Amino acid sequence: MQTKAEVFSKRRENLINSLNENELVIVFANEEATGANRFLQNSHFYYFTGLNTPEAILIMGKANNKGFDEVFIQKNIPERIVWDGEKIWPEQVTKISGIDTVLFIDDFEKNTVFHLNAFKKIYFNCDLVGLNQPLNKALFFIKRAQERVPHLTFEDISNIIRPLREIKDETEIEAITESIRITWEGIKLIWQNARPGMMEYELEAMLHFEMQKKGCRNYGFVPIVAAGKNAATLHYVDNNTIIEDNQLVLLDVGASQNNYSADISRTFPVNGKFTDRQKEVYQEVLNIQKEIIAMVKPGVSMGDLNKRTRELMFASMTKLGLIKEESEIIKHYMHGIGHHLGLDVHDIGARDSVLKEGMVITVEPGIYIADEAIGIRIEDDVLVTADSHRVLSAFIPKEIDELERLLQDHRK
Ligand code: GLY
Ligand code: MN
Ligand code: MN
């Protein structure tokens, strides 16, 4: 069993091995949180270090046919400790990340320009900002470096990091599974306690409560709790409408524990029983989802999954009396079948990837009928295995009878 530091060291080694001579990678951690926000780490930075440390900078490079890595962190200022608490110490950084060379940010600013001179190309990560907005720290650094070392070329890190991050190792699969388990605890509490007449945010509070109880402080994305026709608005996040009797509620939720996100959608009748029409539409979505999941294996592309979904959607929507032409599918299904999942809910990885062992994707078909106040999406998180797949969220019920039984058990 590898230690965590060994896992992070191996990831840096893999990246360094993919570099050419005289190439350098600079990975900026996220800046300190401001206002009411809690700090969340940059996913690339976390992937290589395991550090939830703001403002830090990781460099990895290859020169003289030798790889190296160094990390720069903020210094503890003794008189600030009583206000802000201690910042991470260099020994702790080494213990978590396996990086032996831990320096301070001030040295980065002072010395890096002399190192940079020896390199040809710099890969970097940073969030883009609008032309009318101030540069973030990463862009500000790049601008100054470009002025001082004009022979350097710069490239976004995505192309070299994608092949690594899109294949998940054991630790990552376990982390995603843990977030799914916590999410399920939240969904279960909602299914037990939701009643007609409640507000959508009361259900959101149940998920939040269950997450906090488990020490899971962050969502992977803003939760969607959408009753009736609200569920036909794909990015509905207001969660502030009363839930009427006989309505379906769409939950699209994901806890993020240890920086890895779950992404689960389930749709359920608030009073415990589907109407005939709701059942009919739900069963079509479920059948499509199962058929697409069954296709998941190495060599199949996300494009194949999307194409098959459209064929199945056309048949289902015709049967449900919703459309006559294939071109009308978009009226009731307007998103893709899924995406990569990992540190980010929409994780790095192409939407048209050819699947490989170790990828984790979502499979999330939906049918949305605003006129009938119906929006149904069923979403599971699926690991691609050597010759097939494993549904990491398979323990979260989705069959109609199972769901109704579970809901009604708590409504007696
Ligand atoms: N929850 C975001 C998504 O399903 O893609
Ligand atoms: Mn989702
Ligand atoms: Mn999703």
112-168 per-position pLDDT tens digit: 767 788 899 999 998 888 999 999 888 898 899 899 899 999 999 999 999 999 999
- Check pocket membership of 381 for ligand 1, CB cut-off 6 A: no
Q: What is the mean pLDDT of residues 65-87?
A: 91
Q: Which residue has the higher pLDDT, 139 or 374?
A: 374
Q: How far is the CA of 159 from the centre of ligand 2 (A)?
A: 25
Which ligand 1 atom sits closest to the C-alpha of 379?
A: 4
* d(C-alpha 130, C-alpha 155), whole Å: 19
Interval between CA 137 and ligand 3 midpoint (Å): 30
> Going edge to edge, which strands form the sheet with 23-28?
102-104, 66-73, 57-63, 23-28, 121-124, 153-156
User: Rounded CA gap, 206 and 213, in Å?
Assistant: 11
Per-residue tokens: 145:
């470096």
Does the Cβ of 263 fall within 6 Å of ligand 1? yes
Ligand 1 atom closest to residue 364's alpha carbon, by position in its atom list: 4
The better pLDDT of the pair 64, 179 is held by 179
> How far apart (Å, rounded) are the C-alpha atoms in residues 136 and 199?
39
Q: What is the CATH number of domain 170-409?
A: 3.90.230.10
237 lines ligand 1 (CB under 6 A): no
Q: Residue 6 has what pLDDT?
A: 97
Contact 183, 254 (CB under 8 A): yes
What is the C-alpha separation between 19 and 14, in angstroms, rounded? 9
Single-letter amino acid code for the residue at 400 = I
Residues sharing a CB contact under 8 Å with residue 173, sequence separation 6 or more, in sequence order = 360, 383, 392
- The predicted pLDDT at position 252 comes to 98
Centre of ligand 1 from the C-alpha of residue 276, in Å: 27
Helix axes 158-165, 4-17, angle to 10 degrees: 130
Residue nearest to atom 5 of ligand 1 (CA): 346
Angle between helices 137-148 and 105-116 (to 10 degrees): 30
Average of per-residue pLDDT values in the chain: 95
Strands (E) in 31-161, as ranges, are: 57-63, 66-73, 102-104, 121-124, 153-156
* C-alpha of residue 401 to centroid of ligand 1, in Å: 26
CA of residue 251 to ligand 1 center, whole Å: 11
Q: How far is the CA of 223 from the centre of ligand 1 (A)?
A: 9
Least confident of 70-74, 302-306, 336-340, 349-353: 349-353
Domain ranges across the chain: 4-165, 170-409
Candidates 237, 334, 339: which one to mutate for ligand 1, based on the most atoms within 8 Å of Cβ? 339
Atom of ligand 1 minimally distant from the CA of 377: 4
> 3-state DSSP call for residue 250?
strand
Ligand 1: which atom is nearest the Cα of residue 252? 1
Query: Residue 338 CA: which ligand 1 atom is closest?
Result: 5
Distance from the alpha carbon of residue 380 to the mean position of ligand 3, in angstroms = 8
pLDDT of residue 141: 87
Q: What would the pLDDT profile of 204-242 be if each residue is shown by its tens digit?
A: 999 999 999 999 999 999 999 999 999 999 999 999 999
DSSP notation for 84-100: H-PPPPHHHHHHHH---
Q: Which of 204, 221, 250 should be mutated for ligand 1, with most atoms under 8 A from CB? A: 221
Q: Which residue has the tokens 């206002």?
A: 35
**Share above pLDDT 90 across residues of the chain, in percent, rounded to a whole number:** 85
* Whether residue 111 has pLDDT greater than 80: no
The C-alpha atoms of residue 21 and residue 65 are separated, in whole angstroms, by: 6
At 123, give phi and psi (nearest 5°). Answer: -95, 140
> Regarding the domain with residue range 4-165, which homologous superfamily does it belong to in the CATH classification?
Creatinase/prolidase N-terminal domain (3.40.350.10)
Q: Evaluate if residue 106 carries a pLDDT over 90.
A: no
- Indicate whether residue 221 lines ligand 1 (CB < 6 A): yes
Please work out whether the CB of residue 284 comes within 6 Å of at least one atom of ligand 1.
Answer: no
Q: Residue 181: in which H helix or E strand, if any?
A: helix 170-193
From the CA of 381, the nearest ligand is 3
Mean pLDDT, to the nearest integer, of 336-356? Answer: 95
Q: What is the pTM of this model?
A: 0.96
- Which residues in 194-215 are b (16+ Cβ under 10 Å) and which e? beeebebebbbbbbbebbeeee
CA–CA separation, 11 and 101 (whole Å):
17
Is the pLDDT assigned to residue 32 strictly greater than 80? Answer: yes
Burial classification of residue 1, based on how many CB atoms lie within 10 Å of its CB (0-12 exposed, 13-18 middle, 19 or more buried)? exposed
Would you say 32 and 53 are in contact if contact means Cβ atoms under 8 Å apart? no
| Nearest-angstrom CA–CA distance, 372 and 53 | 48
Q: Say how many Å lie between the CA of residue 244 and the centre of ligand 3.
A: 26
Q: Whose CA is nearest to atom 4 of ligand 1?
A: 263
Question: Does residue 380 have its Cβ closer than 6 Å to ligand 1?
Answer: no
